Structure 1
Amino acid sequence: MAKPQDLPLELLQFYLTAPYPCSYLDNEEARSQVLAPNSPINSHIYSELVRHGFRRSGSFTYRPHCDQCQACVPVRVNVEEFIWRRINRRIFKKNQDLTVHHQRLVFKEEHFQLYLAYQQARHPKGDTDTDSKEQYVHFLIHSPVNSELIEFRLNNQIVMVSVIDYLDDGISSVYTFFDPTQPDRSLGQFNILWQLNLCRTLTLPWLYLGYWIKECRKMNYKIQFQPLEGLIDHQWQPLAFAQE
């Protein structure tokens, strides 16, 4: 019997979800291709899935599979060729007073309260059911692969939390939330810069940033990290139009 690390992707089982309202584009319906819950998975298999455009939410591994739309483009940053602009250096220097702690995935009340504050600031009209502790745990604390929770503190006060997955060829940025009362720090951008540095330290060539949608303003920040590659027609290629 094939070991999980030797299992060809063709032998994995997937299913398609029913259509649901798109979270990013108004008046659009979305569908997802999801890895069946009983499928064997480890960090090696997941790394290959990420290279094919998948990512995960908790224990669910998925990729967009919409009937009429291909707006979601998986993107990754070339670590060695990343261009540090003056603004990147300013942001990175501004946050050098933060202390960083690597931890296993664990629930902490202070993390959850920061998550709630972040969600309220970013999505004030969101569904309150998505702000439960149970949802938070399933979304960020459950993982079938090699994952880590990174704390960023200022004077021992939590200001940012980031969940990352370690892949064979890089790091996948799962989710980051931070103190919305400190906009001058540009914490979201700093976090990506910090993850790029972590990739470089570990000699990992790619930082995977999930999906990018050109028409979605909330995703515009991703095009600031060049050179950016997108998975288009099953091929990773430079996103030349990302400079627009």
Structure 2
Amino acid sequence: MTSASATNEPIRVFQTLEHACGYYADRTARNLVLDPVSPALPQLYGRALERGFRRSGGHVYRPNCPSCRACISARIAVERFVPDRSQRRCERRNADLELRVQPAIATDENFALYRRYLAARHAGGGMDDPEPDDFDRFLACEWSPTRFLELRRDGELLAVAVTDVLPVGLSAVYTFYAPEHAPRGLGTCAILRQIALAQSNRLPHVYLGYWIAGHPKMDYKARFHALERLRDGVWRTQ
């Protein structure tokens, strides 16, 4: 991959060592990572999304596992999106929530919500006792075009959708929410609000990261109409 900036210098691509897979206990994983200190990285980020990469903290990566190709990049074509019956119910259930688009800045309020979410959803998984530095490193970095999409009810913060905003679309980096309000379907609501925001700003796609067929943690992505998957370098609807 080469730089789109005026320097037109190539960007280095690194390959990580094999490590434990986050989705299957009996598999190992490996990633390709774009040089995190390259000055070209901010300009290349949008093109990298289109090629199946994703951002975590200051790293832009994509899976490159030696014996597994289960992780498939997925995005929603927002012009063709039509919510299904369940998603319309979710919209009505959360009609009382106000969306606020905020800078990606850690506060006592959003960090406390993040800790509560991880303690409830990922207990014992190694992420459930984060420090403020962990929060900053995971969700944003100096160059990333990140916004915190807050969902509030009467001022109370119920959810945050960490979202990168680029000309190629929105990238849904991570969403965390108040665990006691899980019946609201706040994860689905966050994606619906991201789609609406992309539509209002005439952005073509909402990138959802990786989808794995048949994996219980990934099934929700396949329920979104107009989902495109990256296969053999081509975005396909099936």
TM over 0.5, yes or no?
A: yes
Aligned partner letter, 2:48: L
Task: Report the 3-state secondary structure (helix = DSSP H, G, I; strand = E; otherwise coil) of the residue aligned with 1:193.
Answer: helix
Q: Does 1:216 pair with 2:215?
A: yes
Query: Normalization by structure 2: what TM-score?
Result: 0.93
Q: Does 1:196 pair with 2:200?
A: no
- 1:50-95 deviations in Å (ceiling 9; x for gaps): 0011011111111101111111000001111112212211211221
Cα distance, 1:141 vs structure 2 = 3.4
Distance in 2 separating the partners of 1:142 and 1:44: 14
Query: Is the CA contact (8 Å cut-off) linking 1:55 and 1:63 kept in structure 2?
Result: yes
Query: Is the CA contact (8 Å cut-off) linking 1:105 and 1:142 kept in structure 2?
Result: no
RMSD: 1.9
**Percent identity (aligned):** 36
Residue 106 of structure 1 is matched in structure 2 by 105
**Matching of residues 23-102 of structure 1 within 5 Å:** 23-41=22-40, 43-102=42-101
Residue 205 of structure 1 is matched in structure 2 by 204
- The answer for unaligned runs of 5 or more in structure 1 is 240-244
Residue 5 of structure 2 is matched in structure 1 by 5
Distance in 2 separating the partners of 1:129 and 1:154: 25
1:42/1:14 CA distance change after superposition, 3 Å: closer
Distance in 2 separating the partners of 1:115 and 1:73: 27
Cα distance, 1:38 vs structure 2 = 2.3
Task: Report the 3-state secondary structure (helix = DSSP H, G, I; strand = E; otherwise coil) of the residue aligned with 1:110.
Answer: helix
Distance in 2 separating the partners of 1:6 and 1:53: 24
- 1:126-151 deviations in Å (ceiling 9; x for gaps): 11586222111101132423211111
Query: Is the CA contact (8 Å cut-off) linking 1:107 and 1:141 kept in structure 2?
Result: no
Distance in 1 separating the partners of 2:141 and 2:36: 13
1:83/1:100 CA distance change after superposition, 3 Å: closer
Residue 132 of structure 1 is matched in structure 2 by 131
The 10-residue stretch of structure 1 (191-200 or 43-52) with the greater mean CA deviation from structure 2: 43-52
Task: Report the 3-state secondary structure (helix = DSSP H, G, I; strand = E; otherwise coil) of the residue aligned with 1:126.
Answer: coil
Task: Report the 3-state secondary structure (helix = DSSP H, G, I; strand = E; otherwise coil) of the residue aligned with 2:80.
Answer: coil
Cα distance, 1:7 vs structure 2 = 6.3
Distance in 2 separating the partners of 1:120 and 1:204: 34
Alignment length, in residue pairs?
237
The 10-residue stretch of structure 1 (66-75 or 111-120) with the greater mean CA deviation from structure 2: 111-120
- The answer for unaligned runs of 5 or more in structure 2 is none
Query: Is the CA contact (8 Å cut-off) linking 2:115 and 2:128 kept in structure 1?
Result: no
Aligned partner letter, 1:5: S
1:135/1:168 CA distance change after superposition, 3 Å: same
Distance in 1 separating the partners of 2:200 and 2:185: 23
Q: Does 1:156 pair with 2:155?
A: yes
The 10-residue stretch of structure 1 (24-33 or 129-138) with the greater mean CA deviation from structure 2: 129-138
Distance in 1 separating the partners of 2:232 and 2:79: 25
Query: Is the CA contact (8 Å cut-off) linking 2:91 and 2:189 kept in structure 1?
Result: yes
**Matching of residues 146-185 of structure 1 within 5 Å:** 146-185=145-184
Query: Is the CA contact (8 Å cut-off) linking 1:4 and 1:40 kept in structure 2?
Result: no
Cα distance, 1:20 vs structure 2 = 0.4
Distance in 2 separating the partners of 1:73 and 1:96: 32
Task: Report the 3-state secondary structure (helix = DSSP H, G, I; strand = E; otherwise coil) of the residue aligned with 1:165.
Answer: strand
Which structure has more helix as a fraction of its residues? 1
